[in-house]
Structure 1
């Protein structure tokens, strides 16, 4: 197994989290009353229950780094997540940053910001 770090994110409702992330390719890998693991290829997201989370004031955040950020972004918008500047869920388009990295953002149903970052070409 390769060394790795895995985001540990809040979920107000595991069923809703599975449905939301499942819309763009994440599949449930493990679940019990206190833990949820979703996978999409090599990507892994883990969730813990946080029923009282206020999405509007959430400060949770993680980054997903992929080889094809446009494909991931299309999957998210095809699942019905729309581009907008407030509310959740929402996405912000992929743009090239001054660093040269291409980055978009997803705000999930629980207010967690997920940066969508394209791996630099070798």
Structure 2
């Protein structure tokens, strides 16, 4: 039985990735720092893992993940209040597919899209 998924995204520099996710997005480091080529982060009930790819060209990176939120307005405002850049084409808005979404690009141009259903459960 599958119980969860932890996406793995490329990173060029572990310290830069760790700083962005921990300082800008309030993730916590989990696991150990013994492995310089791997990073595991957690926020609330999700984990994102990263693998070192020093030669990654950010403009050619198509890494993407979709993160569900229960209070997207509050999350979006907290990121704005902390000066976190929002993707220019990904400002908070209602989408025709029934989601309220916004997007960010991390330092390696991994696309992080945050969404909440417009239909209440």
TM-score (norm 1): 0.84
Which one has a bigger Cα radius of gyration?
2
1-side partners of 2:79 and 2:42: how far apart? 15
Higher-strand-fraction structure: 1
Give the one of 39, 45, 57 matched to 2:48. 45
Find the partner of 2:59 among 53, 56, 63: 56
Structure 2 residue runs without a partner (length 5+) = none
Structure 2: how far apart are the matches of 1:17 and 1:79?
A: 17
Structure 1 unaligned segments of length 5 or more: list them.
Answer: 86-90
Query: What is the CA deviation profile of residues 63-112 of structure 1, one whole-angstrom value per residue up to 9, with x for unaligned ones?
Result: 11111122222233333222453xxxxx7211111122111111111011
Moved over 6 A (4+): none
Aligned length: 116
User: What is residue 26 of structure 1 aligned with on the other side?
Assistant: 27
Report the counterpart of residue 90 of structure 2 in structure 1.
Answer: 92
> For the aligned residues, what is the CA RMSD?
1.9
Q: TM-score normalised to the size of structure 2?
A: 0.84
Deviations 1:46-79 (A, max 9, x none): 1000111111111111111111122222233333
